[in-house]
Amino acid sequence: MSTELQSVVTLQPIPAIKGMALTNRRIVDSVTPGNRQQTAAFKTVLSYLLGLPVAKEATSHRIAEFQRLFGLGKLPNDVAAALALVRGKKASVCPNQATLYRWVDDLERYANGNLTALTKKHTGRIRTVWGWEQKAVELFNLPTKPGYADVAFWLRTDYGFETATKSRVTRYLQTMPATLGKQSPGRMGKTFYKHNLSPYKIRDNDVLPVGFGYEGDGHTVDVYVAHPVTGNLYRPELTLWIDVRSRFVVGWYLDNDESAITTLFAISEALTAHDHVPAVLFLDNGSGFKSRMMTDEVSGFFSRLSITPSFSLPGNSKGKGLVEGFFKLFRNRHDKKEAFKGSYCGHDMAPEIIRRLPDLVKRGKRQLPSLAEYAASVGKFIDDYNREPKPVLEGKCPLDVWGKELLRVPVHIPADALVWPRAVRTVTKWRIRLDNRFYEAAELAQYNGSEVLVEYSLHHDHEIRVLDDKERLVCIAQLVGKVGRKPESRLDELTQKREAGQIRRKENQIAEIQQRNKPVVTIEDRRNALSDIIEYTRVEDMGTGFNPKDCLFIGAETEEEVIPAFNYKDFF
């Protein structure tokens, strides 16, 4: 009898496909690795049993000898280990005679080609179907993340399944696959599941040339600094641009929040600092990046420089994972360092420290870093980052890769005009109206009723540049009047507008608080309710041992004015 496991496989042909040779085959093996382990263990035990030297060459005598050696504990170690694997929980009990006879018969059937003869036949208990299984899975996958006991309680009380005990529901839910278990999209949230548990496309940035594409984003820093004006707690917004291929930070800007202005200043600084225009900007859907000032097909900043914006899908931070990864590194290596340990306010900061910080600053026991100090620290960190060797760049630093491999595309717009936004306006009576300001020039007489491009400064409003449809300079129009009181700087005007909006929102909050504090139930309503209760208690309780001492007395100033309201003991 052969002692080697002869594994038989079957070939299942794949249906023929036109134009493809039938060379592919799918191999299906009916014997699992667990079956092979059981078969090997059975064969070890039976080979030893059938090879025992006995006086009479009979299977019964060999079985008796095997049982005797088991009782004396004299079985070889490999045989004892194989028997323990076969017996499982009954490893300490010797197999009886009938069991050993059945094993010998199974060995013969295995030798005749039955590959599963020497495997355990027990397939497990058939689970009882109670009827609440589908509802249990539905409740367990709620985004509120209920526990097993909570689901079982709801099934009994809300849906009438008395058989839904805690143990049964727990056992059933624990057998669910991961996509329906504790890490299901329903419990974790689709966005969290997509970003942390599901697969994603890995993009090869090495195929892009240096300077071809920038990733940009805004990030509210995780450090409280002293506001330049008030000195109170203040978190500036860091807008940053990074080259995709070289990982080189080409430009950054600190301001109050992410807006079209901060985006314009940050990208302009990146373009003028290196005299290079990228072909693509990888952005999110933030208001600063999608504003008309940046994306308008005629007057937008991107159109002026022939830059193609590529916006990521909403909620998909991996679309610009390079700059997101930089912000995470920036938080861990810069904002968490010892110089800012007292003013760090990230999500992982101890809550009691952040809670006490405003009071400590107000009492002078904690000194916040100034905005200038923080900006200098940011600049030094970015400079060090650009000079640090990166494994993804094969040990080179971003500055070296940027300097050696950049194919420069010079900026064709003068630096002083680069940060001048554009707008399309119609000339009327030699004049142009822009932001409630009127500009006039004699050259505009030729363009009455026509649309022109207008370039304006964010800092001064005394003049504008007028261009024709081919972006040729027509004239420089001078300011001749304003509607209402307008500041000279448009940035000041935007600041005033934002301030007015903040004041309006605060006033709305105060009005809402005042409305909420108004009594919902008036004193008269309470007295009327008490009168009804008194009348009810007199009718229902006076003749059944009613005791005024057990009543709740409300609104009484003297003993004579005590009014029995209701017997509070009836409610407990």
Q: Of the given ranges (325-334, 387-396, 523-532), which has the lowest mean pLDDT?
A: 523-532
Fold match flag (209-405 vs 420-482): no
Give the pLDDT mean for 445-458: 82
Q: Has residue 256 got a pLDDT over 60? A: yes
CATH superfamily for 209-405 is Ribonuclease H-like superfamily/Ribonuclease H (3.30.420.10)
Domain ranges within the chain, ordered by starting residue: 10-111, 133-196, 209-405, 420-482, 523-571
Residues 132-185 have pLDDT tens digits of 999 999 999 999 999 999 999 999 999 999 999 999 999 999 999 888 888 888
Higher confidence at residue 256 or residue 404?
404
Question: Rounded to whole angstroms, how far apart are CA atoms 218 and 241?
Answer: 9
Q: What is the Cα–Cα distance from 226 to 236, expressed in whole angstroms?
A: 10
- In the chain, % of residues over pLDDT 90: 17
* Residue recorded with tokens 């500055």: 399
Mean pLDDT of the chain: 78
Q: What angle do CA 374, 380, 382 make, to 5 degrees?
A: 105
Residue 28 banded pLDDT, cuts 50, 70, 90: low
pLDDT at 188: 86
Question: So what's the pLDDT on residue 172?
Answer: 93
Distances from the Cα of 231 to the Cα of 224, 226, 364, angstroms: 11, 5, 11
Asked if residues 568 and 541 have their Cβ atoms less than 8 Å apart, the reply is: no
Question: CA–CA distance from 159 to each of 138, 142, 151, 153, 165 (Å)?
Answer: 13, 16, 11, 10, 13
Tokens of 275: 């005299």
CA nearest neighbour of 310 among 288, 286, 284:
284
Lowest mean pLDDT among 143-157, 283-297, 369-383: 283-297
Fold of the domain spanning 420-482: OB fold (Dihydrolipoamide Acetyltransferase, E2P) (2.40.50)
- Cα–Cα distances in angstroms (integers) from residue 493 to residues 251, 359, 459, 462, in the given order: 26, 33, 10, 14
* Across 116-120, 464-468, 551-555, least confident range: 551-555
**Three-class secondary structure assignment of 200-231:** CCCCCHHHCCCCCEEEEEEEECCECEECCCCC
Q: Are the beta carbons of 282 and 205 closer than 8 angstroms?
A: no
Q: Is residue 266 predicted with pLDDT exceeding 60?
A: yes
Least confidently predicted of 112-116, 120-124, 135-139, 306-310 = 120-124
Can you tell me which residue has the tokens 């904690």?
Answer: 366
Q: What is the pLDDT of residue 492?
A: 60
Q: What is the pLDDT of residue 13?
A: 46
* pLDDT at residue 562 tops 50: no
Q: What is the pLDDT of residue 258?
A: 64
Q: Pick the range with the lowest mean pLDDT from 23-27, 482-486, 527-531.
A: 23-27
pLDDT level of residue 20 (50, 70, 90 thresholds): very low
* pLDDT score, position 347: 85
The Cα–Cα gap between 26 and 14 comes to 8
Say how far apart CA 466 and CA 475 lie, in whole Å.
Answer: 5
Alpha-carbon gap, residue 484 to 476, rounded angstroms: 23
pLDDT at 244 over 60: yes
User: Would the pLDDT of 441 be above 90?
Assistant: no
